[in-house]
């Protein structure tokens, strides 16, 4: 038992000396996850490159959006339909948050350029750098509001 603790201590000391503290490694994973989701989002919604976007998904993609089936093929079908119906769709990510294996985006999406658009919160779970699960909530942006704060 003593040997295991010493080995762990020496390993931790070596990693710390090399600049790879556990907290630093967790930050690296969170930032990598955020970059993955942002690249996925840009490929899917702004560049309509479904093949590139699908490469960011894990093999067992779980979808909580009721308009889409699970899996990469469910994603492809949803985005093909979106692209066909709304060829001018654009998404502007206003905020991106990451916590462990989860990434949350706060997004202003427009199906048509002249639309006020939608306020969307997208949540993703990643495993091994791949997106494996997705949830979203959407709200239409109203023409008038009771306050001047805006949706973003």
Q: For residues 53 and 76, what is the distance between their CA atoms, to the nearest angstrom?
A: 9
Q: For residues 140 and 109, what is the distance between their CA atoms, to the nearest angstrom?
A: 10
Secondary structure of residue 16 in the 3-state scheme: helix
What are the Cα distances from residue 138, in Å, to 2, 37, 48, 57? Answer: 55, 18, 20, 22
Query: Helices in 18-136 by DSSP H: which ranges?
Result: 22-41, 50-54, 71-85
Pairing of strands 118-127, 57-63: unpaired
Q: For residues 112 and 61, what is the distance between their CA atoms, to the nearest angstrom?
A: 28
Mean pLDDT of the chain: 89
Q: For residues 139 and 119, what is the distance between their CA atoms, to the nearest angstrom?
A: 5
pLDDT tens for each residue of 80-127: 999 999 999 999 999 999 999 999 999 999 999 999 999 999 999 999
pLDDT band at 22 (very low <50, low <70, confident <90, very high): confident
Mean pLDDT, range 29-45, rounded to an integer: 97
Check pLDDT > 50 for residue 31: yes
| Domains, the chain | 25-140 (3.10.450.50)
Higher per-residue pLDDT: 23 or 1: 23
In the prediction, which pLDDT does 29 show?
A: 94
């Amino acid at each position: 038992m003593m040997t295991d603790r010493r080995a762990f201590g020496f390993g931790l000391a070596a990693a710390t000396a090399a600049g790879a503290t556990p907290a630093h490694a967790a930050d690296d994973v969170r930032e990598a996850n955020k970059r993955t989701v942002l690249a996925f989002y840009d490929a899917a919604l702004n560049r309509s490159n479904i093949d590139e976007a699908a490469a960011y998904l894990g093999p067992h993609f779980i979808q909580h959006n009721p308009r889409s089936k699970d899996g990469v093929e469910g994603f492809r079908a949803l985005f093909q339909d979106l692209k066909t119906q709304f060829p001018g769709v654009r998404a502007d990510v206003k905020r991106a948050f990451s916590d462990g294996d989860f990434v949350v985006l706060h997004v202003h999406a427009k199906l048509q350029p002249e639309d006020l658009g939608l306020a969307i919160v997208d949540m993703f779970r990643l495993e091994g750098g791949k997106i494996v699960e997705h949830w979203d909530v959407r709200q239409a942006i109203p023409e008038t509001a009771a306050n001047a704060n805006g949706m973003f």
